[in-house]
Structure 1
């Protein structure tokens, strides 16, 4: 169901309802959902990623609302009628700067989201229930545990539930096992925001992202300092998503582990409205040049209605479509790219030149991989010079079998590159 290695990558969108944003679950209107899905399918996309709100679906630890689960199933069925597969995120969790946590985890009932035995039992039951409810749907891809739920585990969250990397790994494996119990053999995975790759001492690590679950998910947002430091039209902005795809492979045990570019978007003003279409084309083209890419899922489908208050400004205009379901320039650009890829896509050649990242397997100090860091800038200099760099950990750079499996024939270290440029 996911796709064969020889098939073109999947193209989809993160579904943000045009009416009521994710609050639409409170007043679920299947006709409005169908109209939204029609406008998504008209762009030529093949899947959506959808977001139940955890507190609405499981308001008490031992109450998972049957009606809410039925509404999710109805959305999945409506998507099937339009030729769209569906990936479901479970623990929402965190969306567009807002946290949605059930009352049984907060204030008077405050318990650690990742370690408390009762909370873990409740989370596992919830994920298992959603997965099982959808298991008989052919267009159900699988579960993602939650949207960037790692942000609850440490800084800069204002009220984090602190854990260790070992505790993070235990939580991930238990929750993914619950998804597998509910829907065996589906595409179950987890998703972290880029702190996992760039933030020193973050408890969710690159190894977790690249080794646990059915695929590696990466979320690429150039408002993380990339656009501010390098500029809208820079190589660093246009290649940021591709960089994260390739960076993730350095920690993967499977040299051909699939990587899902699960979130990428054109945030204004970092990407001005008149540059959004070009940014979309550049970003997608660079990502499609990465071997083992499972797919690209744009953020997001529809703009946030400005009648809703208190969103960060950039969140209102991220949609491929307006609130009245009309394609925007980025939406038309993505539709054109998708149409071309369906007929002309060729599997990318191996990336034979690899940047060596001299960090330990279980890295805590990883800021050198982020914007402004030595490894980040070395990758972008190689890309600016016309190379197609891969990334390999120093510990594996001396492993001929690993290099051969990935098609790597040349190794470059940041210090060598700096010397060659200065000379």
Structure 2
């Protein structure tokens, strides 16, 4: 008898059409409702929402009640339109801009991950946001922050350096605060792909795949994938699926849910005319991964070109224009969401494991990055129609682990050369 599994969720990272995330400074409920109407019209089921940390907690002991009320109002407006809401707390970093409160910078510079007073302030903030939404049925849960790991090392111009042990301790403290505020919700953390690809990065694959309720992956092919392989290559269309499967190499739970929390079609790496095709291919490949919690596209609405200094690729990533009109990529994602809702069959397990010769702490994980030996071997297999899973070398002889994942055959990178 086949186990019934719910279909993956389809959602969008909410970027307000008026004022981008600066809309919190001039919160207009009617504008938010109009944005949410245009998102709901795509047939999506959830939003990922981004309070700006300095605006919500401008002083370590001041979490602005009015800002929290506005966040709750947004969540309630989403509920009226059948949309669930996930909230990122520590923003943190968004679209190349850093948003840190003044009590952590310059004259008050303190390490974001180790200073006891900063940690107490962060915990209070996350707990407050979670508690404010805890009684809302459409509240999914908290993500600690958006790619906050980028503050911990290179290439950030002014990093707060830490060790992997300090990163792990910080993550546990932040997620405990989220759970205290809203028990039993989907609380997790999100790293950019340095956690998977950058040698020596203090936030590790094991942190991503073992801490929190689910694993989040953020897939951006401007990381060298599209430059190396081209916009139409199998590797480019498989990148999101690769990250989903790569994360499972470190997961202790063989069926840990994986959330493709960010994925988008960045121009010029993906030409605008190919955005819809890229969306269809990327989503279809992600849906072929077992244990997928959901797909949340980046982003809902384009960035208004009246706003200055964004990297060029950030302006056109929306499924909708600033006038709230559906773009071709938006139509493609909407169609895929409708297809999955109408008829969903979970993908079969991946029976062939590609062995990843890394220790558990993965200090030299650049082999997993575009151009790395493991990445390229995985993509060569995928290009032939194979469906590889990722298996750490230390687990390659663990019969119980392999059986729990349905893996019956192992191959190595050397065998594929």
TM-score by length of 1: 0.98
SS at match of 1:145: strand
Deviation at 1:168, TM superposition (A): 0.1
Aligned pair 1:79/2:78, yes or no? yes
Deviates more, 1:4-13 or 1:354-363: 4-13
**Aligned counterpart, 1:363:** 362
**Aligned counterpart, 2:162:** 163
**Aligned counterpart, 1:263:** 262
Aligned pair 1:132/2:131, yes or no? yes
Give the whole-Å Cα distance in 2 for the aligned partners of 1:5 and 1:81. 29
Cα deviation code 1:191-221 (max 9, x no counterpart): 0000000000000000000000000000000
SS at match of 2:170: helix
Deviation at 1:5, TM superposition (A): 6.8
SS at match of 2:184: coil
Give the whole-Å Cα distance in 2 for the aligned partners of 1:254 and 1:114. 27
Within a 5 Å distance, the mapping from 1:145-160 to structure 2 comes to: 145-160=144-159
Deviation at 1:385, TM superposition (A): 1.1
Aligned pair 1:382/2:381, yes or no? yes
Structure 2 spans left out of the alignment, 5+ residues:
none
SS at match of 2:190: coil
Describe the shift of the 1:178–1:5 C-alpha distance in structure 2 as closer, same or farther (beyond 3 A): farther
**Aligned counterpart, 1:229:** 228
Cα deviation code 1:283-336 (max 9, x no counterpart): 000000000000000000000000000000000000000000000000000011
TM-score by length of 2: 0.99
Within a 5 Å distance, the mapping from 1:179-190 to structure 2 comes to: 179-190=178-189
The answer as to whether partners of 1:5 and 1:292 remain within 8 angstroms in 2 is: no
SS at match of 1:190: strand
**Aligned counterpart, 1:250:** 249
Describe the shift of the 1:94–1:291 C-alpha distance in structure 2 as closer, same or farther (beyond 3 A): same
Cα deviation code 1:29-50 (max 9, x no counterpart): 0100000000000000000000
Within a 5 Å distance, the mapping from 1:9-408 to structure 2 comes to: 9-408=8-407
Deviates more, 1:162-171 or 1:338-347: 338-347
**Aligned counterpart, 1:421:** none
Give the whole-Å Cα distance in 2 for the aligned partners of 1:299 and 1:9. 17
Cα deviation code 1:41-96 (max 9, x no counterpart): 00000000000000000000000000000000000000000000000000000000
The answer as to whether partners of 1:289 and 1:348 remain within 8 angstroms in 2 is: yes
Deviation at 1:345, TM superposition (A): 1.6
Give the whole-Å Cα distance in 2 for the aligned partners of 1:23 and 1:348. 40
Runs of 4+ in 1 over 4 A off after TM superposition: none
Count residues with an aligned counterpart: 415
Deviation at 1:406, TM superposition (A): 0.4
SS at match of 1:146: strand
SS at match of 2:308: coil
SS at match of 2:348: coil
SS at match of 2:364: coil
SS at match of 2:342: helix
Deviation at 1:179, TM superposition (A): 0.3
Deviation at 1:388, TM superposition (A): 0.6
Give the whole-Å Cα distance in 1 for the aligned partners of 2:158 and 2:81. 41
Task: Let me know the Cα RMSD of the aligned residues.
Answer: 0.7
Describe the shift of the 1:110–1:203 C-alpha distance in structure 2 as closer, same or farther (beyond 3 A): same
Give the whole-Å Cα distance in 1 for the aligned partners of 2:4 and 2:188. 18
Cα deviation code 1:375-406 (max 9, x no counterpart): 00010011011101110001111011100100
Give the whole-Å Cα distance in 1 for the aligned partners of 2:352 and 2:157. 41
